[in-house]
Structures are given as C-alpha cells and as structure tokens.
Chain A
Amino acid sequence: MLHRWLFVLPVALFALLIVGFYVGLEVHSDVLPSALIDKPAPEFSLPPLIKGQPGFSTGDLKGHVSLVNSFASWCAPCRDEVPALVALARSGVPIYGIDYKDTPDAARAWITALGDPYTRIGADSGGVAIDWGMYGVPETFLVDRTGRIRYKHVGPLSEADVARTILPLVARLEQ
C-alpha cells in the first residue's frame, strides 16, 4: 500500500505549493511599491554603518523634507548616481542612506572613494528594504516633514532627474 501512496505524493506536495502561492498573492498585493506613496514611512531602526556614529531610524525623518536612498557597494548602477547625490546634498537636502546587504568594510571604502552624500547611514541586512517595498538597489524615496513617503524613484538618479523632478518636489513640500 505504501507503493500506492508514493504516487499520491506529487499531487499532495503540489496542493501545498498552490496554497502557498495563493496566500502569497494576497500577502504581496498590498506591498506593491505604489501602495506606500502617501503612507507614513515604515517603523524601523537600523544600526550605523560606521561605528560611533548614530544609526538611522524612523524618528530621524520627522521635521524636515528628506531623501532616503538605498545603495550597496556591490551595486554597479549605484555608482552612477553618487555625483548627483553629492550635488543634491550640497544644496542642503538631507539624504539618509540604507546600505543594503553589504559588508561594512566594502561600504566604507566605497564612500571614502566616491564621496559621502549621507547625513546618516543605516546598515540593513535586507528586512528594512523590503518593508520600504524596495525591488532592488538603488531606490530613492522622498519623505515629507510629517514622515510620509511622497515619491519613489527606482534605479539610479541622474542629474536630470534631480533637476527636473526631485528639486521641484522638495521645494513644494518645504512650503
């Protein structure tokens, strides 16, 4: 009889898989990126990338318009946006960094070599990025004074993006 049950095993495993898929569809349909726009930033608290400096958590975002940018030293496209971010930081917009799934040494070396636009940098092993609904790195979020996410940019920011989209939005939100 055991032999007979062996043939039922594939369909039983398959049923489990389908249940998982179905529930998964439900779970995921509310964390699609657009769902986070105009919602408060998720609650989180990240340890600092560089020892001795403060970490990065939800509270930091209150009280001013800021950008939250995810990056990683292993992420080639992230390099492309560093000049744009540094210029943006120089113009007075605070930028918070989420260093995604990185080795701290590599990330520190990366910042030293390319320039540091960040006010604070939190080191994330993956959980917080998903709470923000990130698909990958780099992604950039614009957060308003009350700590709500108002805009999301996927992929590296170019200087044109900063001039055409980010700066006008910052100016409007600061009013």
Chain B
Amino acid sequence: MFDEAGHFALILALCVAALQAVVPLIGAARRDAVMTAWARPAALMQFAFVAFAFVALMHAYAVSDFSLANVADNSNSLKPLLYKLTGVWSNHPGSMLLWVFILALFGAAVAIFGRNLPPALRARVLSVQAMIGVGFLVFILLTSNPFLRLSPVPADGAGLNPLLQDRGLAFHPPMLYLGYVGFSIAFCFAIAALIEGRVDPAWARWVRPWTLAAWCALTAGIAGGSWWSYYTLGWGGWWYWDPVENASFMPWLIGTALLHSAIVVEKREALKTWTILLAILTFSLSLIGTFLVRSGILTSVHAFAVDPRRGVFILLLICLYTGGALALFAWRAPQLQGGGLFAPISREGGLLLNNLLLTTAAATVLIGTLYPLFLDVLTGQRVSVGPPFYEMTFVPIMVPLLAAMGVGPMLAWKRADLVAALVRLKWAFVATLAAAVVTLAAEGVRSVYAACGLALAAWLFAATASELAERLHLFGEKPSVVMRRALHMPRAAWGMTLAHAGMAIVLVGITGSNAWSEHKFLTGRPGQSVDIAGYRVAFNSVKTIRGPDWTETRADMRLFDGSREIAALHPFRRFYTSEDGDQTGVAIHTDLLADVYAVIGAPDGKGGYVLRLYYNPLVPWIWLGAAAMALGGLVSLSDRRHRVGAPARRARAAAAAAQVQAAE
C-alpha cells in the first residue's frame, strides 16, 4: 500500500511541477500577482510529494519489501539497517529519486528563504526549477521507476554490492548530489535574469549563497568520495582521473570560477554576461556528468547503470536544458547592460585571471574525458587518456592559478599596485624559499618537483596568512584591538582565508603523496616481517571469522617503529554468501603526517598470502585541506550579508555596497 502511495505521490509531484513550470512564468510576464504567487506553494507542495515518495522507498528498504523489484535487486534481509537505508541510492532508479528529492528540496528552500526576493524573480526562478523537475520526474517514471512491483515475490533479495556496504555510501552520493543539484539554483537565477534582461549587484548577492552552499557540498562530496575510494578499494591511491571523477570535478572547477565572478558582479557590476554563462555551464556540466555516468558512453570503474535507452533520454534532457539555456543566452545576453571596463591590475582583474585559468582547467579535463569518445566517433580509433595527459595539461594551469591566489586578495578594487602588493608579501617569499631549500636539503636534488610543490603550498599559505595579519593589524596593534578586529571581520573574509589556506594544505598532501609514496607487493607467510619506509610490519597470523552473511579472512599485523610497537593492523577480505564478490578491508594507521596502509589478498595455496603495503606520506592532508575548504565555504555562507536581503533592490543594494566599501 505504502509503495503505491509513494508511486502516486511521484506522479502527483510531476503534475504539480508541470503547473509550477508554467503558471508563475506567465504570471510574472503578465504581472498577474495571483499567478505569480503560485510559485511558492507549488514548490512546497512538489517537495512534499517527492519527499513522501522518497520516504516510501526508504520504508520499503527498511522493511525489506521484496515485492518491489528495486528492493529485491539491491537489498537483502540480513543487512544491517544502515545499509538497507543507504541501499536506496546504491542503484540507478533510487539514486535518481534522491536527485529529484534534492532538486525539490532546493526549490522548497528558495520558496522559504527567498522571502526577500522580488516576487517576479522568485516566480521565474521556481518556474525554471520546476521545468528541470518535470524532465527528471518523467525520466524516473518512464525509464527508471523504483516503485515497479515484482511477481512472484522472491524470498530474499539479491543484496547490495559488497563494495557499497560502507558508511561512505551514506554520505558520498547525497553530498555529491547536493552539490550537483544545488547548482541548479544558480542556473535558474541565470535563466530568470536572462528573461528579465537585468543583472545587478542585488542579483549577484542572491545567487551567491546558493552557489556557495552547492560548492561546499560538492567539495565535501568529491573529497569524501576520494577518501572512500582510498580506504575501500585497496589500491592505495586517492584520485585516478577516471571519467566519473572528472565528471564531478568539472562542475567543481566551473562552480569555483562562478563563486569568484559573482563577487565581481556584486562589487563592481562587471563580468555580468560571463557570470550568467558560468552559472549555465556549471549546472550543465553536472547534467553532462550524470549523462556520462548513466549512459555507459565512457567506460569507467564507476559505470553502474549501463543502459543506452536511459542515455538517450538524459541526452534529450541536456539538449532541452543546456541547449535551451545557451540559445536564450545567445539571444538575450547581448542586450544586458554591460559593466565598465577595468584595469588588469586590480582585485577584479585578479578574479578574472582566476576565472580564465579555472575554465581552461575545466576545458582540459573535458577534453581529456571526451577525446577518446570523439576520436572513436570520427575515426573509429580507440584510445584511452590516462594520468600523464592530466599531469601535462592540468598541472601547468594550476601552478599560475595557485601563485596568483596568493596575490589576488592583496590587490585593491579598481586599480591596484602590484609591486606594492608583492612587497607586502615579503614574508611569503621568505617562506616559499625556505620550503624549497629545506625540502631539497632534506630529500636531495631528486625531489625537485616535490620542492616546487611544497614551495608553492608555502607561498599560498603564507600569503593567505599575510593577508589575514594585515587585515587584523596583527603586527603593530595591541592584542585587544586585534581581537576586536578579528571579531568584526566579515565572515566572508574568514571564509576566504580558510578556503585558500585549505587549498595550500591540499597541495602539500598531493605533493607528498606523489613524491614520496612507497609500496611493497609480496607473498608473505604468517610470522614474516616486512620493512617499509623505516617501519617494520610483522605479519603475525590469519584467522577466519564468520558473520551473518559473510566469512572473512582477517590478518593480525603489528606496526613497529624500530622496536616500539605503534599500532595493530587488521586488513581483511570478506566474502559474502548472498552476493557475488568480496570486500577488501584496508587497515590504515595514520599519525596525520603519513599513512601506513595494508591490504591482504588471496592465499597462494602454500600458506602464504598476497600482501600489499603502502606508505603514503602527507595523504591525510588532502582531506584535512578539503575539509578546511568546505568549512571556509560554510563560514562565508553564514555571513550576515547573505542573510540580510535587499528588498528595495537598488536603494538597499547601493547602500550596502557603500557600507561594505567603507568597511574595507
């Protein structure tokens, strides 16, 4: 019963979304207050229906209702409740329902928190959002319906892929989708602005918090996914330039550019059409990412729903949304009032450079991801693009970006003095040089790339710290004054400092793991010891453990630093009785400076086991840094200026802008 109710709720959500897509849009065009006012209740109602459907599917998973084909295919009565629930989005139909749920959630959030938006703008934003909702609801109901029944009802389900039976599944997909789908709001604001023919600082201020929220979620989603693959796959690495990873990375790069260009619109009324284009592209890349993953058009370790029919459907939706948006852009954007020109050496000039480099970086990732496909289409020749391509193209773009990131915040708006800014960064130069010299002295000339990486990280970190110190008058004022300045500093500024410092920390992690990782693959017998990177790993014994629906081989290893035992490592391999496949349990010992990472493989039949040991220095910094970046975004999101709206659009915006300029 509950399942059918969920199914109907989804159909009702489609009906509401169809009305929401049309009525408020007409209302806004005709200045009809009643039709315009439709948008808010419709968005809330659509959310209520989708949420009901989502809860119904969750319920079906929780009670193991195998009369639903989707539950029977992806769950099993022996699973712990957490994996039953996360199993909802472990598969294509369920994860598409999560996608639509988050879309409706954002729509409802705009309806609730967008009280200070002008009614016409809010109506248009919600209408466009409902158009996206309609497309994906139709997609779910026609091609990927999770509520289809199965007859006869099987006694038990087929179970969940062992790789997915992890807490990672609880946070990675929802976070990623919050990011992907969250960018739909920026997209809708862009379309609404194109329809209205007006972009102003108030518009940028309304768009920014939504973009920021999506960006935080996507940052956390990507980093979380990378961490998850690191500790579950047992391959010792954290990023593979896999097409699916790239699909999430491209919207992140363009979304980061969007965050920064929206600041220029807000502060200087420039880069308007460019910001609109970025808003369209960010969400479009999220859609293209969905398409690449779901259609099986690119081969990838992630490809989990290979169905060309679904691929054609999503392609159609992309045509409609991105194609429609870009056509509207070609038609309307030239009529938008352009902003003034500005000097290249200025804060806005720095932000423009950031935009150019980030979009170029995203373009190289796009080319690397799609090149094999296009070569195949054009010539029938098959190739695959691997890490060397990205090392050659992506890294050279990142280096100037990171170098400029240190200087940009030191530049004044309108016209800045580059030489003076560099002089103010003298301590950052000292730190850079020191990092390079210390690395070379400690690790030798062979570590020249590592020295460059660490120097760049030191530069970014020290420059960010210098900017903060300058803002707070850290040197030269009494501590009480500094404290007061710190408390009164806008949270957006704190957010930037945290996020930029986080990037420096990520860079340290990337450099360290690329330069100094070590690994040993061997066949080891219990009783043997292995030396790796100055540590000794004693492989003591192996035992077999039985669980409700699995048996596992668990090794007992001890990690020694000299003669001192510092940790016990228990890597395991788990075989499931109800599912095909097995699960690798990686044992990681971390002291936050380096990880020792152990994996146990198959027995060789003569009492030995295949063992893989890795020493991954500085890898934890990648996730710590990414967490700092996401936290920076959240801090910035909590800035008062985002919460206080601008009801009288121009007057209040101008006053606020004047205030901000005065404050700076």
**Chain A residues engaging chain B, CB cutoff 8 angstroms:** 3-4, 7-8, 10-11, 14-15, 17-18, 20-25, 27-29, 32, 76-77, 79-84, 87, 101, 114, 126-127, 130-131, 135-136, 155-156, 158-160
Contacts and interface: CB of A to CB of B under 8 A. Distances in A.
B374 A7 contact: no
Give the most central of B295, B318, B601: most A CB within 10 Å.
Answer: B601
B334 A7 contact: yes
Contacts of B334: 3-4, 7
Contacts of A4: 334
B11 interface: no
Given A24-B373, A136-B301, A158-B582, A84 B382 contact: no
A21 B382 contact: no
A27 B378 CA distance: 11
B605 A21 contact: no
A25 B582 contact: no
Given A87-B605, A159-B605, A7 B301 contact: no
Nearest to A18: B319
Contacts of A76: 234-236, 521, 599, 612
B144 interface: no
26 contacts: A7-B329, A10-B277, A10-B280, A10-B329, A11-B326, A11-B329, A14-B322, A18-B318, A18-B323, A20-B377, A21-B315, A24-B297, A24-B373, A24-B377, A27-B377, A32-B296, A76-B234, A76-B236, A80-B602, A83-B610, A84-B602, A130-B382, A131-B382, A136-B299, A136-B301, A158-B582
Interface of B: 234-236, 273, 277, 280-281, 284, 291, 295-297, 299-301, 303, 306, 308, 311-312, 315, 318-319, 322-323, 326-327, 329-330, 333-334, 370, 373-374, 376-377, 381-384, 386, 521, 523, 575, 581-582, 599, 601-605, 610, 612
B330 A7 contact: yes
Contact of B602 (A14, A22, A81, A136): A81
A144 B635 CA distance: 63
A7 B273 contact: yes
B330 A27 contact: no
Contacts of B295: 25
A24 B374 CA distance: 7
Given A10-B329, A28-B297, A76-B234, A82 B610 contact: yes
Nearest to A130: B382
Contacts of A21: 291, 297, 315, 318, 373
A39 to B, nearest CB: 17
Given A28-B297, A126-B384, A135-B299, A159 B602 contact: yes
Give the most central of B291, B301, B333, B604: most A CB within 10 Å.
Answer: B604
Given A10-B277, A79-B610, A20 B370 contact: yes
Contacts of A81: 602
A73 to B, nearest CB: 9
Given A8-B330, A21-B297, A24-B297, A135 B312 contact: no
Contacts of B308: 25, 28-29
A25 B326 contact: no
Given A11-B327, A83-B604, A158-B602, A25 B521 contact: no
A101 B382 CA distance: 13
Given A7-B273, A11-B326, A25-B315, A126 B383 contact: yes
Query: Sorted from nearest, which 6 A-B pairs have the closest CB atoms?
Result: A11-B326, A80-B601, A83-B604, A130-B382, A29-B308, A8-B330
Nearest to B366: A17
Contacts of B612: 76, 79
A169 B610 CA distance: 27
Contacts of A77: 234-235
Nearest to B376: A27
Nearest to B236: A76
Given A18-B318, A18-B319, A82-B610, A24 B376 contact: yes
Contacts of B605: 83, 87, 159
A40 B381 CA distance: 20
A142 B611 CA distance: 28
Contacts of A82: 610
A114 B595 CA distance: 26
A159 B605 CA distance: 9
A101 B386 contact: yes
Contacts of A10: 277, 280-281, 326, 329-330
A160 B603 CA distance: 11
Given A4-B334, A23-B377, A79-B612, A135 B315 contact: no
Contacts of B281: 10
Nearest to B383: A126
Nearest to B380: A27
A42 to B, nearest CB: 11
A32 B382 contact: no
Contacts of A7: 273, 329-330, 333-334
A135 to B, nearest CB: 5
Contact of B326 (A14, A79, A155): A14
A135 B323 contact: no
Contacts of A83: 523, 602-605, 610
Contacts of B322: 14
Give the most central of B291, B299, B581: most A CB within 10 Å.
Answer: B299
B625 to A, nearest CB: 26
A135 B300 CA distance: 7
A76 to B, nearest CB: 5
Give the most central of B370, B384, B603: most A CB within 10 Å.
Answer: B384
Given A18-B318, A28-B308, A28-B376, 8 more contacts: A3-B334, A22-B312, A76-B234, A79-B521, A79-B612, A126-B382, A130-B384, A135-B299
Give the most central of A11, A32, A127: most B CB within 10 Å.
Answer: A11
Contacts of B384: 101, 126, 130
A114 B610 CA distance: 10
Contacts of B374: 20, 24
Contacts of B236: 76
A132 to B, nearest CB: 11
Given A24-B377, A101-B386, A32 B306 contact: yes
A87 B370 CA distance: 41
Give the most central of A17, A23, A80: most B CB within 10 Å.
Answer: A80
Contacts of A18: 315, 318-319, 323
Contacts of B291: 21
Contacts of A159: 602-603, 605
Contacts of A87: 605
A24 B375 CA distance: 10
Contacts of B280: 10
A137 to B, nearest CB: 11
B384 to A, nearest CB: 5
Contacts of B370: 17, 20
B133 to A, nearest CB: 22
B95 to A, nearest CB: 20
A11 B323 contact: yes
Contacts of A79: 521, 601, 610, 612
